[in-house]
Amino acid sequence: MNKYKTLREEAYEANMEIKRKKLAIYTWGNSSAFDPDMSVFAIKPSGVDYESLKPKLMVVIDLYGNVVDGNLKPSSDTKTHLVLYREFSQLGIRGITHTHSTYATAWAQAARPVPIFGTTHADHGTNEIPCTDFMSEEKTKNNYELETGNLIIDTFKQKKLNPAHTNMVLTAGHGPFTWGNNAALSVYNSVVMEEICKMAFITLSLNPLAKPLPEHIIKKHWERKHGEDAYYGQNHRQNNIDKKALF
C-alpha cells in the first residue's frame, strides 16, 4: 500500500466538497491535506476538472516544493499552500483551501476586508475577514504564488492576527484562502466564508451606512461557542441543565 494513500484520499474528498458546495466551476479552486509526521501535503493536480479527479491523481509535495509522489503537475497555487504550511502548521493547521467563490472573490476584487455585521460572522471569528494589499509589481515578477503566501503571512503579522482564530483571508484582486485542522474543515471554512461575504454584500446593499456589530455582542457569540464556558452544541458543559434530563 502506498504510504500516501490516506493523505491523497483526504485531499481528494476535500476537493470534491469544493465541487459539491459549488465553490468553484471547471478547474477553479484547490484543496490540500498536510501530514506533519511526513512533512508532506497532497494537493489537486493543475488543470484537472473535478469530474476527472481521483485520489490517485493527487500530487504529494514536501515543504521544499519537491514532488515526492505523483505523475502530474501540482496545482499552480502549490507554493502558496507550501508557505502557509511552513508558517502555520505548528498551530495545528492541516488543511488549506483556495476557491474563486463568487461573493468572497468579489470582496477580494474590491480589496475590502469584510466587517462583522452580524452574529453569523461572530460565531466564526472575532475579527473582520482581512484582505491583503495588492502585490507589488516587483514581487509579481518574482515567484507569484510564493509571494502570495508571503503576502498572507505579512498581512497577519501586520494586523497581529492569530491564524488559529482567524482561519480565512482575502488576497486583493485574487480570491479567498481558508484553513483548518484538516482538509475537510478548510473547505467548511470556505463555505462559511462565502456565506458571510454574501450576507455582508446584501447588508451593504440594503444599508450602505451599516455599522459593524457592537463588540459586546461579538464577544458573546464567540464565547458561547468557543469560550471557556461555551454552551452551544452537545460537546460542552451543560452549566444550567441537569444532564440526567437528557436521557
Question: Catalytic amino acids?
Answer: 123, 232
Cβ–Cβ under 8 Å, residues 185 and 118: no
| Cβ-proximal residues to 185 (8 Å cutoff; 6+ apart), any chain | 95
Q: How far apart are CA 176 and CA 178, in angstroms?
A: 7
d(CA 96, CA 13): 13
Residue 116, amino acid: I
Query: Using N-to-C axis directions, what is the helix angle for 78-88 and 144-159, rounded to 10°?
Result: 30
Find where cell 497555487 sits: 77
Residues 121 and 43: their CA atoms lie apart, in Å, by 29
Nearest residue to 83 via CA among 185, 192, 179:
179
The CA distance from 235 to 245, in Å, is 16
Q: Which residues neighbour 188 within 8 Å (Cβ) at sequence distance 6 or greater? A: 180
Q: How many CB atoms lie within 10 A of CB 137?
A: 8
